[in-house]
């Protein structure tokens, strides 16, 4: 049986960075499920498929090929889209795209298959609640919207992008609201998940906390 660490939480909570670090430490593969939803969103945008156009979305899901490489690169239909899935446009569209049942069913299948023969650290919104309700370790990583907006602005600055704090904060709040109130697989803490607030913690502190929890659960 593979060892599964599920990390859920809102955008900007630090899941991505932390999951990568933890996976390295425990020799597991890191699966960023948000990147998978982003791939569907990018393909839908390219093919002008609206969220309501179920036939087009179904066709996209039948044809789509998503690969998460061990080096962190993301491939959509054999094309490297690692940076293309991180644009504002794709970020915005991935949220409504992720409310479609067919999209979730397709990705759920892919996600479960990825953990059949290898240990995984999987991060997303519904990993501990829906994808792996029996995960060995479940973490719900959180931070205040204000702190997450600050982190996003810093990330943007590193990429040479200027952003407005108020706008970023508003966008984060809207995305939280959509992700937490959608009918299917909403973002919420699994009852047995361990809640970690990263607002005042460094990346090192958060990953050490999680590594301690993993150690206890491995025994």
Among 5, 23, 114, 126, binds ligand DC (CB under 6 A): 126
Residue 43 binding ligand DC, by CB under 6 A: no
* Beta pairing partners, 138: 6
Return d(Cα 89, Cα 94) in angstroms, integer.
9
DSSP assignments along 59-101, one per residue? HHHHH--EEE-TTS-EEETTEE-TTGGGSHHHHHHHHHHTT-H
The 162-191 site mask, x for binding ligand DC (CB under 6 A), equals -------------x---x------------
Q: Quick check: 148 binds ligand DC (CB under 6 A)? A: no
Which residues 6+ apart lie within 8 Å of 199 measured at CB?
142, 143, 144, 147
Tokens of 70: 């061990």
145 binds ligand DC (CB under 6 A): no
Judged by CB under 6 A, does residue 138 bind ligand DC? no
* Smallest distance, ligand DC to C-beta of residue 51, A: 13
Write phi, then psi, for 46 (nearest 5 degrees).
-65, -35
Task: Kindly state whether residue 34 participates in binding ligand DC, applying the rule CB under 6 A.
Answer: yes
Residue 149 contacts ligand DC per CB under 6 A = no
Binding mask 78-107 for ligand DC (x = CB under 6 A): ----------------xx--x---------
Phi, psi of 196 (to 5 degrees): -125, 125
Give the whole-angstrom CA distance, residue 45 versus residue 117: 33
* Closer CB to ligand DC, 73 or 212, in the complex: 73
Site size toward ligand DC, by CB under 6 A: 13
Which residues are within 8 A (CB) of 147 and not within 5 positions of it... i.e. 6 or more apart? 12, 198, 199
Provide, rounded to whole angstroms, the least separation between the CB of residue 127 and ligand DC.
6
Question: Which of 124/145 has CB closer to ligand DC?
Answer: 124
By CB under 6 A, name the binding residues for ligand DC.
Answer: 11, 33-34, 37-38, 94-95, 98, 124-126, 175, 179
């Amino acid at each position: 049986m593979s060892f599964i660490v599920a990390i859920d939480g809102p955008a900007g909570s630090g899941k991505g960075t932390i999951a990568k670090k933890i996976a390295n430490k425990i020799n597991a593969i890191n699966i960023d499920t948000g990147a998978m939803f982003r791939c569907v969103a990018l393909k839908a945008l390219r093919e002008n498929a609206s969220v309501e156009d179920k036939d087009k979305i179904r066709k996209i899901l039948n044809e789509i090929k998503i690969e998460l490489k061990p080096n962190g690169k993301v491939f959509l239909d054999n094309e490297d889209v690692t940076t293309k899935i991180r644009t504002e446009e794709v970020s915005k569209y991935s949220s409504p795209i992720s409310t479609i049942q067919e999209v979730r069913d397709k990705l759920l299948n892919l996600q479960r298959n990825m953990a059949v023969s290898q240990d995984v650290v999987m991060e997303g919104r519904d990993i501990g609640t829906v994808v792996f309700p029996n995960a060995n370790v479940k973490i719900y990583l959180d931070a205040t919207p204000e702190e997450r907006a600050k982190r996003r602005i810093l990330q943007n600055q590193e990429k040479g992008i200027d952003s407005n704090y108020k706008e970023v904060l508003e966008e984060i709040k809207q995305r939280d609201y959509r992700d937490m109130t959608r009918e299917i697989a909403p973002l919420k803490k699994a009852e047995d998940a361990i809640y970690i607030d990263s607002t005042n913690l460094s990346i090192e502190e958060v990953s050490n906390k999680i590594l301690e929890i993993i150690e206890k659960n491995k025994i």
